Amino acid sequence: MEITFYKYQGTGNDFVVIDNRNLEFPRENTKLVHFLCDRRFGVGADGLMLLNPSDTQDFTMVYYNSDGTESTMCGNGGRCLVAFAHKLGIFEKETTFDAIDGLHYASYKEGITNLQMIDVNSINIHDQHCFLNTGSPHHVQVVHNIETYDVKKNGANIRYGAPYFEEGTNVNFVEALETNNGFRVRTYERGVEDETLACGTGVTAVAIAMYEKKLTNKTKIPLQVQGGNLEVSFEPTDKGYKNVFLKGPATFVFKGTLNYYDEA
């Protein structure tokens, strides 16, 4: 099987992207997805996305973790897929697309994607952490000395521990920045089972959690991740948060083809 793919990255969160409007990609082949994401034997990525057709919108986003499993919404992946759709000429300035968590609006200009995330109507506040779903489930915890914090070890312990267990959660560690009223974020992602350089749904969860805990009064919040800088904005309401947007760069890296042979 010859596969044409594109490589994109959004603040260091990298993806294999495939134009699947002809629906030829074998989307149930988790072994193939895992191979493509493998950094030693395949292309290498945090995840893989298919740009599928949609009956009512510009396209449909299908997202896989690097372990080959189809997953929940990925914010940085969504931003990169919007940039890819723009490259394909599917839209000029604004678009709407379907994803596993519903309909998304986005705009694209000069390499910057502004992606509308789902409304957030439920936040669980605990003494040491918050839990909320921003398209994917996220545990948010404030820590000190985040630069030297052992994200992989502590993130894995939380991801697999009570109350998350086998289903698991993504885990975000956060520390306030003094320079711009923003926050520094490091994320352990389930499915990748390691720290990634950025997580879009993660920084979205962090921004809302920090506002909910009254650690900021800003509704447009800069967030510094391992791979760069993102911005989350939102509108608080009596029922939660609406008009939630994730903004940042989405960059085309390269295009390639490979031949895949299933040894099975």
Rounded CA separation 216/144 (Å): 17
By C-alpha distance, which of 123, 153, 120 is closest to 139? 123
Spot the catalytic one: 37, 74, 80, 130.
Answer: 74
Q: Taking Cα atoms as reference points, which of 56, 77, 54 lies closest to residue 66?
A: 77
Half-sphere exposure of 257 (CA within 13 A, CB side): 4
Q: Give the distance, in angstroms, between the CA of residue 76 and the centroid of all CA atoms in the same chain.
A: 4
Q: What are phi and psi of 220, to 5 degrees?
A: -130, 105
Integer-rounded Cα Rg, in Å, for the chain is: 18
Considering 37, 80, 130, 199, which one is annotated as catalytic?
A: 199
Would you call 74 a catalytic residue per the annotation? yes
Give the Cβ contact number of residue 44 at 10 Å.
14
The question of whether 80 is a catalytic residue gets the answer no
Q: Which residues, listed in sequence order, are joined to residue 105 by a DSSP beta bridge? A: 96
Name the E strands within the chain: 2-10, 13-19, 47-52, 59-65, 94-99, 102-109, 112-116, 123-125, 130-133, 137-142, 170-176, 183-189, 194-196, 220-225, 228-237, 240-249, 251-259
Residues 55, 116: Cα–Cα separation, whole Å: 20
Write out the two tokens for 234. Answer: 């939102």
Catalytic residue numbers read 74, 199
